[in-house]
Amino acid sequence: MSLTKEALQALQKCVDPDQLINAHEELLCYSYDGTGREFLPEAVLLPVSNEEVSSIMKVASAYNIPVVPRGAGSGMTGGSLPVAGGLVLSLTRMNRIIEIDKDNQIAVVEPGVINQQLRQALHPLGLFYPPDPASLKFCTIGGNVAECAGGPSAVKYGVTRDYVLGLDAVLADGREISTGVRTAKGVVGYDLTRLLIGSEGTLAIITKIILRVIPRPTSRRTVLLLSDSIADATGLVARLLHIITPATLEYLDATALNIVADKIPFQLPTQTKAMLLLELDGSKEMVASQANQLNNFLEHENLLMVKSASTDEERDSLWQARRSVSPAAFALKPDKMGEDVVVPRSRIPKLVAYTEHLAKISTLPIFTFGHAGDGNIHVNIMLDRSKPEEVEQANDAKHKLFKQVIDLGGTISGEHGIGLTKKDYLAIELPPTSLNIQRQLKQLFDPQNILNPHKIFP
Ligand code: MLT
Ligand code: ZN
């Protein structure tokens, strides 16, 4: 326990009574995330302003209390779990869209704004914020920035970091900083904005985000490709990207398809082993021209079926199916190690073949899906954590997978971050000097190690 009576009294002075939670049953709501792991905080604070965050951090630093910032708790690697107890700083009440500057294509938001709400606010203005994590209906922009979230549209539009121009943040000792610019360019000093993006709440608490937004595409077409071979389907990804740049290029294996089959609006041939889900977007003319190029390319491919969604309902069902893969996986086993490895796109066939090998030598269900256009494949190792032999098998498969990914020239995380679940594997990817410099940065920002402790570093 790090929260003394005296510290609690000091925190009570920072916020109104309804902004501080310490009843056990309410704390439970802030004790879990998308990993299924649970750690109970000692108190939850719900600040509504930069000033409140700053005064809370001053108290936390004076009393040496761990603080874990939290958005919607949808993270996949334990970034928002209070593993050392202490405080959870829920930023959900800082949920204002402060400004949309249409002329300059900029949106300024607080961290608790829901990704989908920002999209809805931009839509009537003809603008668009592309990063689209599967959880976009409930995840927050602050959480997206903290983890540098990606999503299906990253293949064309990039990830969260490609849209963040500047930030306001509160440091561990309560000091406030502003980073970056609100112009299209800016190279003054070190790029602290990029350093804070993806830092998983370990360096500062993000309290305001200046985003670049872009004109919204006016037309789109969703195309489904079905194959009886995982190798063929994943093998065409890198070649296809020489012909066109689709807005999405997603992949699902047979298990992923099976668990969401009830949401797919078409009857799939029984021999189906893999699906690619593409979306073309732009002006009507651009979409028609890309569709032609795609059809010409596919003429020489050996596919079971090529089908376009013919109505908005069909399109929505296909995306609903795709976005449901992760939660639907729990039909297979009660627990999941959901990895988000990335390899160079031409090596996806090697990666998926290796995961099939891992599945063969294990008794656990292991299946793959994900953002094939980025080489970012979600490898899901399903298990029951109450069975030690399954945990051992799953850990072994995960370790082998990560080593193979590095051998293929890849990275162990493309969009979920390191958090708690991957920190023991960091040294597989990062050389000691790089790891040391990163530790020194953490020390500089947070010398008492109170901001999201026990995350990222082994
Ligand atoms: C997805 O692409 O569906 C998400 O990243 C969630 C996941 O991998 O579990
Ligand atoms: Zn994903």
Over pLDDT 90: what percentage of the chain? 99
How many angstroms separate the alpha carbon of residue 360 from the centre of ligand 2? 24
Pocket test for ligand 1, best of 77, 336, 376, 378 (most atoms within 8 A of CB): 378
Ligand nearest to the CA of 33: 1
Q: How many CB atoms lie within 10 A of CB 17?
A: 6
Ligand nearest to the CA of 34: 1
Q: What average pLDDT score do residues 426-445 get?
A: 97
pLDDT(34) > 80: yes
What is the position in ligand 1's atom list of the atom closest to the CA of 152? 2
Interval 375-431: pLDDT, tens: 999 999 999 999 999 999 999 999 999 999 999 999 999 999 999 999 999 999 999
Interval 243-276: pLDDT, tens: 999 999 999 999 999 999 999 998 999 999 999 9
Q: DSSP state, 16?
A: -
How many angstroms separate the alpha carbon of residue 23 from the centre of ligand 2? 34
How many angstroms separate the alpha carbon of residue 63 from the centre of ligand 2? 38
Q: What is the DSSP string of 358-394?
A: HHHTSSS-EEEEEEGGGTEEEEEEEE-TT-HHHHHHH
How many angstroms separate the alpha carbon of residue 302 from the centre of ligand 1? 28
CA 277 from centroid of its chain's CA atoms:
19
Of all protein residues, whose CA lies closest to atom 5 belonging to ligand 1?
134
Q: How far apart are CA 365 and CA 336, in angstroms?
A: 10
| H/E segment holding residue 133 | none
Please answer whether residues 419 and 68 qualify as being in contact, where contact means their C-beta atoms are separated by less than 8 angstroms: no
What is the position in ligand 1's atom list of the atom closest to the CA of 322? 3
Q: How far apart are CA 447 and CA 69, in angstroms?
A: 17
Interval 159-204: pLDDT, tens: 999 999 999 999 999 999 999 999 999 999 999 999 999 999 999 9
Cα–Cα distances (Å) from 44 to 27, 207, 453, in that order, read 7, 17, 16
How high is the mean pLDDT of the chain? 97
Of all protein residues, whose CA lies closest to atom 9 belonging to ligand 1?
326
Strands of 245-375, DSSP E:
248-253, 274-282, 305-308, 335-338, 341-342, 366-371
Angle between helical axes of 348-360 and 230-240 (0-180°, round to 10) = 160
How many angstroms separate the alpha carbon of residue 326 from the centre of ligand 1? 6
Three-state DSSP at 420 gives: coil
What is the position in ligand 1's atom list of the atom closest to the CA of 326? 9
Give the model's confidence band at 28: pLDDT under 50 very low, under 70 low, under 90 confident, else very high. Answer: very high
Bridge-based pairing of strands 305-308 and 219-227 is: antiparallel
Q: How far apart are CA 458 and CA 440, in angstroms?
A: 14
Of all protein residues, whose CA lies closest to atom 3 belonging to ligand 1?
134
pLDDT(2) > 90: no
What is the position in ligand 1's atom list of the atom closest to the CA of 34? 9
pLDDT(328) > 70: yes
| Six token digits for residue 444 | 């500089």
| Six token digits for residue 376 | 């970012």
The greatest distance separating any two alpha carbons of the chain, rounded to the nearest whole angstrom, comes to 73
CA pseudo-torsion sign 357, 361, 367, 370? negative
How many angstroms separate the alpha carbon of residue 416 from the centre of ligand 2? 8
Cα–Cα distances (Å) from 353 to 8, 73, 147, 234, 406, in that order, read 54, 33, 29, 10, 15
Q: How far apart are CA 342 and CA 6, in angstroms?
A: 47
Residue 1: per-residue pLDDT? 62
How many angstroms separate the alpha carbon of residue 45 from the centre of ligand 2? 30
* CA end-to-end span of the chain: 23
How many angstroms separate the alpha carbon of residue 173 from the centre of ligand 2? 34
Of all protein residues, whose CA lies closest to atom 8 belonging to ligand 1?
378
Interval 41-71: pLDDT, tens: 999 999 999 999 999 999 999 999 999 999 9
Interval 120-153: pLDDT, tens: 999 999 999 999 999 999 999 999 999 999 999 9
Please answer whether residues 236 and 206 qualify as being in contact, where contact means their C-beta atoms are separated by less than 8 angstroms: no
Which among 256, 291, 279, 283 has a CA at the least distance from the CA of 155?
A: 279
Q: Domains of the chain, with CATH numbers?
A: 5-92 (3.30.43.10), 97-215 (3.30.465.10), 219-322 (3.30.70.2190), 332-422 (3.30.70.2740)
Block residue for tokens 């032609």:
292
- Amino acid identity at 3: L
Of all protein residues, whose CA lies closest to atom 1 belonging to ligand 1?
134
Q: How many CB atoms lie within 10 A of CB 92?
A: 18
Residue 283: per-residue pLDDT? 97
Residues with CB under 6 A from ligand 1: 76, 134, 325-326, 338, 340, 370, 378
Please answer whether residues 351 and 366 qualify as being in contact, where contact means their C-beta atoms are separated by less than 8 angstroms: no
- Amino acid identity at 241: L
How many angstroms separate the alpha carbon of residue 75 from the centre of ligand 2? 11
Three-state DSSP at 267 gives: coil
Q: What average pLDDT score do residues 302-327 get?
A: 96
